[in-house]
A and B are shown apart, each in its own frame.
Chain A
Amino acid sequence: MEKIKVFELTGRNAISMQNGEKLYNALHSKLMDGQKIEINFEKVNLFASPFFNASIGLLLKDIEVGNLQKQLSVTDLSDVGRDLLNHVISNAITFYKNSENVSKAIDQTEANNNDE
C-alpha cells in the first residue's frame, strides 16, 4: 500500500484550501484507479475545515464514501483532526447529495445580480 506523508505536502499545519488541494491531487487519480493508500499525519499538528474540505471532502464528489473507507487508511491523525475529518465527510456527503440544486440556485442568483 502506498503511503503519503501529509507533513511532506503541507508542513505541520493542515489548514488552508491550498494545502488541501495538494493532498487531493496526490490522492484523486490513484483512488479512481482503485488503489489503496495510507495517508499518514505524523508531525501534522493543527487542522481546520478548509483543508479537509478541499482534500477528502472533494474526493467524495467522485468516490462513494464506502469505497473511500475501503481504499483509504488514515494513520497518526490526532483526535482533533479525526473529529474534524468526520464532520467534513458528513457535510460533504450532504453537500454532494444536494449540490446540483444549490449550485444552480447560487449561480442563477449571481447571474441575476451581474445582469442588474
Chain B
Amino acid sequence: MKKIIHIPTIKDDGPGYEKILGIAREVFDDPYHHFDFDFSRCAMIDHNAVVVLGALARYVDYHNTQMKLSKSMLLFSRSLANVRSAPNVAGVMFLVETMNSAVRERLIGNNFLSHFSSGSLEGYPTGGYLGYREHNYLQDADKIADHLQNEWLSASKLRLSDKLKPAITSRILEVFSNAYGHGVSIQDIKTMGVYSCGQFNNKDKTLNISVLDFGPGIITNVKRVRGDMSNIDAMHWALVKGNSTRTDSQLSNIPRGLGLDLLHNFVHVNGGELRIHSNDVKVISNKTSGLIVEECSGDLRGTMVSIKINCDDRYYRFTSEAEPTQQQYF
C-alpha cells in the first residue's frame, strides 16, 4: 500500500526538528510500504530534514529489500508513467514535480537528489561541496577525515582560516567517531551506515552539519550499562566528561568519554549550537538557552547530532583557553 507523506517547510529550529522527527516516527512505525514524499507544502528545507529524509529512504529500502520489493528513487515527471505502472515496487519516492524551485535547487545543489535518482537532473555538484553524504557502515576514519578536510570544508563558498579549519574538522570527527563507535558498530541493522548533511548559511556565516546513525541510541546504551534510570538522567550521564558506555571497543581499560564534552565545549566557545536527538530525549545547547535536556515527542531509533558553527575567527578559541582549569601537560 502506498503512503503519501506531505513534507512541510522544515527549518533548522525547534519546530523544524519536531516536524521531521514526527515524519521519521511515522516511517519507523511501519516501514513496509511505498512512500511518496510530496513537497507541495514545503517552502524550504534545511540540512536537519535532508539528512533524516535520506536516512529514512535507506531505512525503508532496507526493510523492503528483505521482502525483495525495494528501490528508493527519485520521481520526476517524465518517468511518472513508467514508475507508476511498475507493480510491487516499494520504497521511497521524492516527488520532484511537487517541489518549488528553491527546494528543488537546494536538493540538487546539496547532491541529495542524485543519491535517489534513476534519471538525471542537471546541476549536481562534484568534488568539494557542502551537502548530503552517505557513509559506509564500515568505518574508514581516513576516508571520512579526507572527505571533511579536502571536500566538505573545501567547498568554494566556505572560507575558513587555517586556524579554524583543523579545529572544526577535529570536532566533527568526534561526531563521526561517536556515530560509528556507539551506533553503527552495535546496531541491529548491520548494513545501515552513517548519514550526514552539511549546509552553509551565507547570511549569518554559519556552518551546519547533521550526522545520523541507526544505532541503539544514547539512552538505550546508557541504560544497558548503568541500569534503570530515567531517560533524562541517562542523557545527563552521557554528557558528563569521562562517562562512557564502552560500546566503541571491547577494551575496557581505555579512558574515553570525551567526544560529547569536547563537542559541547567547542560549540559553546564558538557561540554556536549543539542539538542531540536520541531515542526520546533531546539536548539543546546554545548561548541563549544554555543546556537543555528534555523529552521530545518523537522517538528517534538512533542518534542525530546537529551542530551550528560560527565560521568567523573572532568566535574561535581553543577549549583549554576557555577552561583555565585545564592543565597543560605537554
Which residues of A come within 8 Å of B, CB atoms?
11, 13, 15-17, 19, 45-50, 53-54, 57-58, 60-61, 65, 68-69, 72, 74, 77-80, 82-92, 94-96, 98-99, 103, 105-107, 109-110, 112-113
Interface check B177, CB cutoff 8 A: yes
> A13-B142, A49-B177, A82-B330 given as contacts; is B320 within 8 A of A87 (CB)?
yes
On chain B, the residues within 8 Å of A11 by CB distance are: 142
B249 within 8 A of A: yes
A19 to B249, CA, bound (A): 13
Residues of B within 8 A of A84 (CB): 170, 262
27 A-B residue pairings within 8 Å (CB atoms): A11-B142, A15-B173, A17-B249, A46-B169, A49-B258, A50-B177, A50-B248, A58-B254, A68-B329, A74-B330, A77-B330, A78-B166, A80-B170, A86-B328, A87-B319, A87-B320, A87-B326, A91-B258, A92-B255, A98-B242, A99-B253, A99-B255, A103-B253, A106-B226, A106-B252, A109-B227, A110-B224
* B177 and A109 within 8 A (CB): no
Which of A49, A69, A78, A105 is close to B256, meaning CB atoms less than 8 Å apart? A49
Judge whether B262 and A87 touch: CB under 8 Å.
yes
A58-B256 in contact given A48-B173, A77-B330 (Cβ < 8 Å): no
Contact residue among A13, A80, A90 (Cβ-Cβ distance under 8 Å from B167): A80
Instruction: Find chain A residues with CB under 8 A from B141 CB.
Output: 13, 15-16, 19, 48
Q: What residues of chain A lie closer than 8 Å to B249, measured between beta carbons?
A: 17, 54
10 closest A-B pairs by CB: A95-B255, A92-B255, A48-B173, A15-B141, A49-B258, A16-B141, A13-B145, A57-B255, A74-B330, A83-B318
Q: Is the CB of B319 within 8 A of A83?
A: yes
Interface of A is mostly: helix
Residues of A within 8 A of B169 (CB): 46
Q: Is B259 an interface residue (CB 8 A)?
A: yes
Residues on B with beta carbons closer than 8 Å to the beta carbon of A50: 177, 181, 248, 256
Residue on A with the closest CB to B327?
A90
Question: Which of A47, A72, A83, A103 is B252 in contact with, Cβ under 8 Å?
Answer: A103
Contact A113 B253 (CB under 8 A): no
CB < 8 Å A-B pair total: 131
Q: Please tell me if the beta carbons of B170 and A46 are within 8 angstroms of each other in the complex.
A: yes
User: Across the interface, do B320 and A83 meet the contact criterion of CB distance under 8 Å?
Assistant: yes
Q: Bound complex: CA of A112 vs CA of B167, how far in Å?
A: 41
A107 to B145 CA separation, bound complex (whole angstroms): 33
User: Residues of A contacting B170 with CB < 8 Å?
Assistant: 46-48, 80, 84
Q: Besides A83-B320, A113-B224, 19 other CB < 8 A contacts?
A: A15-B177, A45-B149, A48-B170, A48-B174, A49-B256, A50-B248, A53-B255, A60-B255, A72-B330, A77-B330, A80-B166, A82-B330, A83-B319, A84-B170, A85-B330, A87-B320, A95-B242, A99-B253, A107-B252
Give, as a whole number of angstroms, the nearest-CB distance from B305 to chain A: 14
Whose C-beta in chain A lies nearest to the C-beta of B144? A15
Q: Which of A46, A57, A91, A109 contacts B225 (CB 8 A)?
A: A109
Q: Which residue of A lies closest to B166 (CB)?
A: A80
Point out the residues of chain B lying under 8 angstroms from A80, CB to CB.
166-167, 170, 318
Q: Which residues of A contact B259 (CB under 8 A)?
A: 49
Point out the residues of chain B lying under 8 angstroms from A94, CB to CB. 242, 255
Q: How far, in whole Å, are A95 and B166 apart by their CA atoms in the complex?
A: 27
Q: Which residues of chain B are within 8 angstroms of A105 by Cβ–Cβ distance?
A: 226
